[in-house]
Amino acid sequence: MIKNRIHVECEWLLFLSATEEISEVRKLKESEQARIRKIYLDLTVEDAEKVKEIEKTTNHDVKAIEYYVKDRLKEDPELVELTEWIHFACTSEDINNTAYAIMLSQARSDVLMGVMSKLTNEIDLMANSNASIAMLSRTHGQVASPTTLGKELRNSSERLKRQSVQFEKLEILGKFNGAVRNFNAHQSAYPNLDWPRLSAKFLNRLGLTINKYTTQIEPHDYIAEMFDCLKRFNQILLDFDRDIWTYVSLDYFKQKKVEGETGSSTMPHKINPIDFENSEGNLGIANALLQHMSSKLTVSRLQRDLSDSTVLRNVGSALSHCLLAYKSTLKGLTRLEVNQGKIQQDLNRSWEVLAEPVQTVMRKYGLSEPYERLKKATRGEQLDEELYQKVLKELQLPSEALAELQDLRPESYLGLAIELTKNNDQV
């Protein structure tokens, strides 16, 4: 945050220098501009500590930034004349909101989006490679109509992609308009300048979009939008983590053994799905923070209070927990191996799931009470192939329909699951 605040102060000075109507700030040579940018580009831990030392006296974090930048300019004989143009017409929130906006922009583009894309792509690859692997669905935890492993993985990747696209497109806003947004100080010095236009131009240079209507603070609505979107992404991923965990517990996935690893201090056989559990835990912490921030940051008394400042200091923590979760899920996925034998075994002993197509075909041919008859024969029962064939023969189906249903197997009763996985544009 210190670096981003210095970034804003330095770039504002450079912008004033480049604004022709402000002749009192001379035009700076490229070498001078570069030296000013080095103040934030080359910032070290020791430099940051100097800022904190100044803050011990000012008891004001942004004023400490201002004094630090001025001190650095005073070290340069060619730039010393510019010292009092640092923080020109600014309120602290001009610097802070812009610094946070830069930080959020960088966090999104340089950190989060890459991992989010990698995560969705990895799930997509798994969906493609398992598009044709039939398996039982489970609704209410009970066996249900068959699907494919690939189709269920595709469900998750498409949900995650939708949120990541929204997250990437959200505008990041800024305000640079003085104490209560009215450009009061700006107008007192340069009443003939179009300050709203200049403010927008400055923020655009920083990769931000101006929020035209603010109080002293940028109202943080866009941050709430970003965090709400992240929360949805995280909830979908948490849902995915739990599903994969369940499939591991059902033995549909095996986990690769890693030499030297221990699953339990007393049970030597165990390989625990800890990566998905770690992801779930971090997602919970992240969303607790994101939820509070998205609801709190949009509320500030009158033209401002300071409660947003306390909350904003936790942005890094929330995003860090997001990142830890995404990386944990990715790590967990690399250790999974599909156990087709177990998946097929469950299909082989669950022929009762074919009661659905049987009663549906009976409706087609006008047979009486198809649902009720299949319910009586199958509800709460586990059918193997022999029992399934016995039920069929008792239904008085037309010979053509009977032959088709006799050939049907749980692993072939898939509807369009394979096609929907391979062609995810199909509806």
Kindly state the percentage of the chain with pLDDT values over 70.
98
* 253-255 and 336-338 beta bridge pairing: antiparallel
- What does the mean pLDDT of the chain come to? 93
pLDDT of residue 308: 83
Q: What are the pLDDT digits (tens) for 196-254?
A: 999 999 999 999 999 999 888 888 999 999 999 999 999 999 999 999 999 999 999 99
The residue among 352, 324, 332 whose CA lies nearest residue 413 is 352
Answer whether residue 263 shows pLDDT above 80: no
pLDDT of residue 264: 63
Kindly state the percentage of the chain with pLDDT values over 90.
87
CATH architecture observed for domain 93-342: Up-down Bundle (1.20)
Cross-strand bridge partners of residue 336 = 255
Write the class of the CATH domain 2-88: mainly alpha
Q: Which residue among the candidates 188, 264, 317, 412 is catalytic per the annotation? A: 264
Answer whether residue 268 shows pLDDT above 80: no
Q: What is the mean pLDDT of residues 342-355?
A: 96
Cross-strand bridge partners of residue 255 = 336
pLDDT of residue 270: 67
- DSSP for 386-411, please give it: HHHHHHHHTT---HHHHHHHHH--GG
295 vs 320: CA distance, rounded Å? 20
Helix H or strand E encompassing 255: strand 253-255
pLDDT of residue 411: 96
Q: What are the pLDDT digits (tens) for 17-31?
A: 999 999 999 999 999
Range ranked top by mean pLDDT from 120-129, 266-275, 309-318: 120-129
pLDDT of residue 180: 82
Domain boundaries 349-422, corresponding CATH code: 1.10.40.30
69 vs 164: CA distance, rounded Å? 38
Answer whether residue 423 shows pLDDT above 70: yes
> Two tokens at 123?
């799930």
pLDDT of residue 255: 87
Distances (CA, A) of 338 to 156, 248, 253, 351, 402: 17, 9, 5, 22, 34
Q: At 91, is the secondary structure helix, strand, or coil?
A: coil
Q: What is the mean pLDDT of residues 253-271?
A: 75
pLDDT of residue 188: 94
The domain limits of the chain are 2-88, 93-342, 349-422
Q: What is the mean pLDDT of residues 301-324?
A: 90
pLDDT of residue 260: 73
The dihedral formed by the CA atoms of 124, 291, 166 and 126, expressed in degrees to the nearest 10: 0
Please, which pLDDT band fits residue 86 given cuts at 50, 70 and 90? very high
By the 8 A CB rule, do 286 and 321 touch? yes
Q: Token match 């498409």: residue? A: 158
pLDDT of residue 179: 86
By the 8 A CB rule, do 272 and 263 touch? yes
> Two tokens at 297?
């940051």
Answer whether residue 427 shows pLDDT above 60: no
Answer whether residue 346 shows pLDDT above 90: yes
Q: Which residue among the candidates 140, 265, 368, 399 is catalytic per the annotation? A: 140
Is residue 7 part of the annotated active site? The answer reads no
Q: Token match 């193997």: residue? A: 384
Is residue 140 part of the annotated active site? The answer reads yes
The residue among 345, 340, 342, 358 whose CA lies nearest residue 145 is 358
Q: Is 341 exposed, middle or buried (0-12, 13-18, 19+ CB in 10 A)?
A: exposed
pLDDT of residue 247: 96
126 vs 74: CA distance, rounded Å? 59
pLDDT of residue 424: 61
pLDDT of residue 265: 61
Helix H or strand E encompassing 296: helix 274-296
Answer whether residue 121 shows pLDDT above 60: yes
Q: How many CB atoms lie within 10 A of CB 381?
A: 12
